[in-house]
Each structure stands twice: as C-alpha cells, then as structure tokens.
Structure 1
Amino acid sequence: MTERPRAWTGFVPWPHDAHGTVQLADVVHRYGRGGEDVTVVGPLDLSVTAGEFLVLVGPSGCGKSTLLHLIAGFERPTRGTARVSGDEPTPGAVAGAVFQTPRLFPWRTVGGNVDLALRYAGVDRAHRPERRARLLSRVGLEGAENRRTWEIPGGQQQRVALARALAAEHPLLLLDEPFAALDALTRERLQEDVRRVTAQTGRTTVFVTHSAEEAVFLGSRIVVLAKGPGTVALDLPIDLPRGDIDAEELRESREFADLRTRISHAVKTAAAG
C-alpha cells in the first residue's frame, strides 16, 4: 500500500538549508524532430539556493516558460539534467505552480478549490477548514470561501490560485507571468502580496515575467535570458530590503530606478541578439 503524505496541521516556514534547491546542469531543450527541430534553451547552467526568489526575465521566445516547465518536471531536458532538492522533478510533487490564467474549477467555490488542493496534499479532512482559513487569510481573501470563482474579479481569482499553490508542503513555488492579464493597480497589489507571502514562508520561488519593474520589485536575484536559444545574459543579485517595507517608497527609490534601468537595458540588448 502506498503511504499517504502526512497531514499538515499548521504552518511551518521552510528553513533556508532545507529542500527547495534547483540545479540545471548543461541543459539543452529542443522542440521538433530531425532537421526541423528548434533549440529553445541552452546550453545553460543555473542553480537556485533554498529560500531564494529568482526572477527569469527576457524577450519573448527566450525560453523562460520552458525553463519553468523543466524545473516543474512537465518536460524533460533534451540534454543535461534538471534537479529539485537533488532529485529529478516529478510533476505535482516538487512545486506549487501559478500560471497566467488561474485554472480554477468553476463548479467549486473559492473554499472548495482550496479544499481540493489540501486533499491532494494529504491534509486530514478535520484540519482542512482551519488550514483553508489560514491560506485565504494569507492571500487576502478572508470571508470569501463561499463565493463562486466566476463571481470574483481576475485579481482575486489569482489569489485563489496562489492559495491553492501554497496548500501543499512543497518548498518550491513556480509562477509563470501570473499577473500579465491584470490591470496595473491590481498587479502592483498582488506583487506586494507575493513578496510578503514568500518572505513569510521562506519558500524558494522562481517567477517568470517580461517586466523589468516587476522583476526588480520581486526578486532577490534576476536572471536575464538571451533570445533564441535561451542562455544566461545577466545574473544579478538584488540588494533591496525584503522585510516589512513601504512598497511605494521602494518603487520610488533611486536604487530601484537604477536597477530597473539596468535590467530593461539588458533585456533590450538580449532581444537584439
């Protein structure tokens, strides 16, 4: 009999020396076969330490989402190795994921969507209401558990998707342009939420975006990918405050503006090839 995952009855932050590391070694990924195959990534080496918030940014077609899929285990490298916590990644077993669209179940309520994720995470039925309430509170959706997902706006739907991704004990969180379709104000608010939640949980995070501003605000480290095939054009640690901050003050600071300009310039250079 397969042993079920143990129940998680409370919140325990991930220590920075625990699981959640990512290693990509000599990774090349191609689509197609024979003479019609196209190399979209690599060769590329990349390591992410536990607790780090890595942002992948670059022009369209540079392989950002493909890299995320390799880390999640949705795809296997054509060449090289991908490891999460030292092992080959298995889809759904190594990371929580949030995509450009929420991918919620419309026949379930907000709470029902989170409950389903908790069930798959092995949380005992008796403990799910408390855990659900904590997750919804963490993403700013207190009291919304009985609402239908199609009754709430896109920003709140993405909050549900984030709560669902946090439901399991995975120490790794993957986000693929989750705010791309949202208005500017909602996007900024959710950026602040993701920054706060990941800081509180200590989860290793890999975030894909086209936006230099979003990358600088969120990341503790930014990797700019060159276009076609995706290789590392710039690997930059971000030395900005990550505790309790005034988000508006941070965005208006000289340090923030300088980093945004540097990343924007690097993306344009990478796009020019």
Structure 2
Amino acid sequence: MSSNRTDAEIDGDAGAGGDGVPGGIELSGVTQRYGSGASEVTAVGPVDLTVPPGEFLVLVGASGCGKSTLLRLIAGFEEPTVGEVRVSGGQPKPGVTSGVVFQQPRLFPWKTVGGNIDLALKYARVPKQQRPKRRAELLDRVGLDDVERRRIWEISGGQQQRVAIARALAAETSLLLLDEPFAALDALTRERLQEDLRAVSIDSGRTNVFVTHSADEAAFLGTRIVVLTKRPGQIALDIPSDLPRTGVSAEELRGSPEYAALRAEVGAAVKAAAS
C-alpha cells in the first residue's frame, strides 16, 4: 500500500476487482527459481495443488521450505518460473484477489486504529458514507471496538495483529492469506488469536491459506494441512482434518485425543520432510 496516493485517486479506482469472487485456488506444475546460472536456486516445486472455496488450508514445514514463496505466488506478488497459478479462475492480482496478513502488522503508526481501518476500506473501494459502519463491524469482529481512537503505538503487539487482520478483511475478497502472523507473539496471545481467527473463518466463509512452522498451530486451525519438504519445497503430506469447527470450546478441542493424534501426525511429517 502506498501512502502517497490521494483520496480522489483511491476513490477513483472504484469497481477494480475485489468483488466477492469464489476464492478457489489452483497451482499447476508450479516451480519457482531465483538467480541464474551457477547461482540459481529452486525454492519450491514442482507443486500441484487445488484448494476449493471455503477451505482453511495450512502450509506447514521447516524454515526455508518454500511456504512463504507459495503464499507470495498465490497473492500475485510473484509469478512462477514454471507452471500456472490461478485464483478464482484468473490470474492473482496483489490487493485485489486476496487480503494478506504478514508476520509484522505493517500498520501506519501515526494513524489511529480506526484510521488504519479507514485507509484499508478506501483501498477496498468502499464508498465513503459506508465506511464508518463497516469499520465498526470489522473492529467488533476482531474484538477491538474499544480501542478505535487509540494510536498504533498505544496498543499491544497482539492488538496490532488484530488490526492487521481487520484491515485484510476490509476488502470483499473471498481469500485471506496469512504468513506466520502470530510467530512473534507470546504463547498466550498467540493461542487467543488462533481462536479468534478460527471463529472469523467460520463466520466469513472465506478461503484461508495460513503459513506456519508449528504442527500445533496447523492442527488447531486447518481444515486441511499440507506439509512441505525441505527446499525445493514439494508436498510431502496432504491430509484433511476431521476436527469439529463448531460446538466445542478451544480448550476441549486442544485436550481431545483426536487433536493430539493429528498434531503428532503433522509433527512427525514435518520432521521427516525436513531430513
């Protein structure tokens, strides 16, 4: 997001994408290489992957296995060296076909919490008269309705990441991409935000792709879990999760034998894939 564009320029982009597309993803023979000649490195691939709309896909693996590379390809930040990436039947476009949450919140510290959301709504082409109501809905969804007027530097790291999630939800895309968004947070805050994100995904019905190196996080969040091998990243394991999404508390879920079994299976797969 560039902060140098005027309100008029942003508002003038109305109608350009981001309008409730289905959210399906297809990667066909995707390989990504960097550099050239003797210094060329294959970061990921070949990968074939189909993600139906509404799925919560978790990409998990050791550091450097290509998880974030795949996410950037799905976001449209990069184009594959070989193969094709399609989102909702077309080429992915940054800021249009998906919302993205990074490991660092990347907020504007000189603006209030509400101001950061308003800017996201502006880029999402939400008409000015509708923004106050939409802002209130987003802040309520992530549990921040009581800090709207506070500056970013006045709230905690966990609250800042909630703002980042609300900002990503501002655009009416049906795909949300999250690149290890809770990695820098303490364990308690991380668990709370996992629970919040799980609830938000159920309510919104959006497709989610979440990157992590944690088997525990993958087991808790995903309806489907894909484990990647060490570089070049390829699919080592692709399994659905049968854990209930509703009707059970987070504490009960984490304490269930089914959850323990899934976490153990994913953890073993990550270790094997990294060796």
With the shorter chain as reference, the TM-score category is: over 0.9
Partner of 2:178: 175
* Residue aligned with 1:104, SS: coil
State the alpha-carbon separation in 1 of the partners of residues 247 and 206 from structure 2. Answer: 17
Partner of 1:5: 15
State the alpha-carbon separation in 1 of the partners of residues 247 and 121 from structure 2. Answer: 29
Deviation of residue 5 (structure 1)? 2.4
State the alpha-carbon separation in 2 of the partners of residues 264 and 127 from structure 1. Answer: 45
Note if 1:204 corresponds to 2:207. Answer: yes
Note if 1:215 corresponds to 2:218. Answer: yes
Note if 1:187 corresponds to 2:172. Answer: no
State the alpha-carbon separation in 2 of the partners of residues 200 and 262 from structure 1. Answer: 28
Partner of 2:103: 100
Mark the runs of 5 or more structure 1 residues left unpaired by the alignment: none
Mark the runs of 5 or more structure 2 residues left unpaired by the alignment: 1-11
Q: C-alpha deviations, 1:24-48, integer Å up to 9, x for none?
A: 0000000111221000100110111
Question: Superposed, which structure 2 residues align to 1:105-144 within 5 Å?
Answer: 105-144=108-147
* Residue aligned with 1:235, SS: strand
Deviation of residue 3 (structure 1)? 6.3
Return structure 1 stretches of 4+ with deviation > 4 angstroms. none
State the alpha-carbon separation in 2 of the partners of residues 167 and 228 from structure 1. Answer: 34
Partner of 2:254: 251
Does the aligned pair in 1 maintain the 2:13–2:125 contact within 8 Å? no
Q: Which amino acid aligns with 1:132?
A: R
Q: C-alpha deviations, 1:153-209, integer Å up to 9, x for none?
A: 100000000000000011000000000000000000000000000110000000000
State the alpha-carbon separation in 1 of the partners of residues 214 and 27 from structure 2. Answer: 24
Identity %: 65
Partner of 1:52: 55
State the alpha-carbon separation in 2 of the partners of residues 214 and 134 from structure 1. Answer: 27
State the alpha-carbon separation in 2 of the partners of residues 245 and 130 from structure 1. Answer: 31
State the alpha-carbon separation in 2 of the partners of residues 127 and 52 from structure 1. Answer: 29
Q: Which amino acid aligns with 2:51?
A: V
State the alpha-carbon separation in 2 of the partners of residues 164 and 244 from structure 1. Answer: 28
Q: Which amino acid aligns with 2:14?
A: R
* Aligned length in residues: 265
Does the aligned pair in 2 maintain the 1:94–1:170 contact within 8 Å? yes
Among candidates 159, 162, 165, match of residue 165 of structure 2? 162
* Residue aligned with 1:256, SS: helix
Structure 1 215/37 Cα, relative in aligned 2: closer, same or farther at 3 Å?
same
Q: C-alpha deviations, 1:136-163, integer Å up to 9, x for none?
A: 0000001211000011010000000000
State the alpha-carbon separation in 2 of the partners of residues 38 and 232 from structure 1. Answer: 18
Question: Superposed, which structure 2 residues align to 1:77-96 within 5 Å?
Answer: 77-96=80-99
Deviation of residue 4 (structure 1)? 1.4
What is the aligned-residue RMSD (CA, Å)?
1.8
State the alpha-carbon separation in 2 of the partners of residues 121 and 100 from structure 1. Answer: 22
Deviation of residue 245 (structure 1)? 2.5
When the two structures are superposed, what TM-score results if normalisation uses the length of structure 1?
A: 0.94
Structure 1 235/188 Cα, relative in aligned 2: closer, same or farther at 3 Å?
same
State the alpha-carbon separation in 2 of the partners of residues 105 and 84 from structure 1. Answer: 29
Deviation of residue 244 (structure 1)? 3.9
* Residue aligned with 2:173, SS: coil
Among candidates 29, 33, 39, match of residue 30 of structure 1? 33
Q: C-alpha deviations, 1:12-33, integer Å up to 9, x for none?
A: 9x7xxx6100000000000111
Does the aligned pair in 1 maintain the 2:120–2:171 contact within 8 Å? yes
Q: Which amino acid aligns with 1:220?
A: T
State the alpha-carbon separation in 1 of the partners of residues 199 and 23 from structure 2. Answer: 18
Does the aligned pair in 1 maintain the 2:30–2:82 contact within 8 Å? yes
* Residue aligned with 1:88, SS: coil
Q: Which amino acid aligns with 1:74?
A: F
